[in-house]
């Protein structure tokens, strides 16, 4: 038994190997980062950092397009993962954290301070879930619901970050 991985995931009792071999679940679990026993959402946000850094090398248009695609496709990815796991919003599904973090960081000039501030702000809004995030998390279902609360958390974090940087 690993201190980092669970033996089984979801009500379907999938193994880490099954998740990593399934392309949809591999994406839903943030390239495997959501397999973590401890703080899978934080691990998923950490997994978003290389994606963010890669998108920084592109234009704002490409960054925005990639972020919109990740959010839109994320609805389907998260919905399929929830069905395969037989759990509505299993903690290891972290594709929504990746999209939410990309939203947070859009248009912000890179520095390690802005990266750290964006990370902390996004995690704050995703964990604390001030209104309406908590309401969305509780009452909007399916892949859209899984994605929506993190998209809004990303928007809240982005607004605060713009005042800061």
Of the candidates 49, 36, 29, 19, the one whose C-alpha atom is nearest the C-alpha of residue 112 is: 49
At 5, give phi and psi (nearest 5°): -115, 150
Q: Taking Cα atoms as reference points, which of 80, 67, 93 lies closest to residue 151?
A: 67
How much is the pTM? Answer: 0.94
- pLDDT tens-digit map of 24-58: 999 999 999 999 999 999 999 999 999 999 999 99
| Helix, strand, coil percentages in the chain from 3-state DSSP, rounded to 5 | 70, 0, 25
Three-class secondary structure of residue 87 per DSSP:
coil
Question: In which band, very low, low, confident or very high, does the pLDDT at 119 lie, cut at 50, 70 and 90?
Answer: very high
pLDDT digits (tens, 9 = 90+) for 52-73: 999 999 999 999 999 999 999 9
Q: Take residue 98 and report the two structure tokens written for it.
A: 């990746």
At 89 the pLDDT is 87
Query: What pLDDT score does 3 carry?
Result: 59
């Amino acid at each position: 038994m690993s201190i980092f991985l669970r033996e089984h995931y979801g009500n379907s009792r999938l193994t880490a190997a099954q998740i990593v071999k399934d392309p949809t679940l591999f994406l839903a679990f943030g390239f495997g980062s959501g397999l973590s026993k401890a703080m899978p959402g934080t691990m998923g946000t950490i997994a978003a950092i290389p994606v963010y850094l890669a998108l920084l090398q592109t234009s704002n248009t490409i960054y925005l397009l990639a972020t919109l695609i990740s959010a839109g496709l994320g609805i389907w990815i998260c919905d399929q993962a929830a069905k395969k796991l037989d759990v509505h919003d299993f903690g290891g599904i972290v594709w929504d954290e990746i999209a939410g973090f990309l939203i947070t960081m859009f248009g912000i000039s890179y520095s390690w301070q802005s990266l750290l501030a964006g990370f902390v702000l996004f995690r704050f809004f995703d964990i604390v879930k001030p209104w309406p995030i908590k309401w969305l998390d509780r009452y909007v279902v399916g892949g859209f619901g899984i994605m929506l609360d993190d998209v809004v958390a990303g928007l809240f974090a982005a607004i605060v970050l713009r005042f800061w940087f």
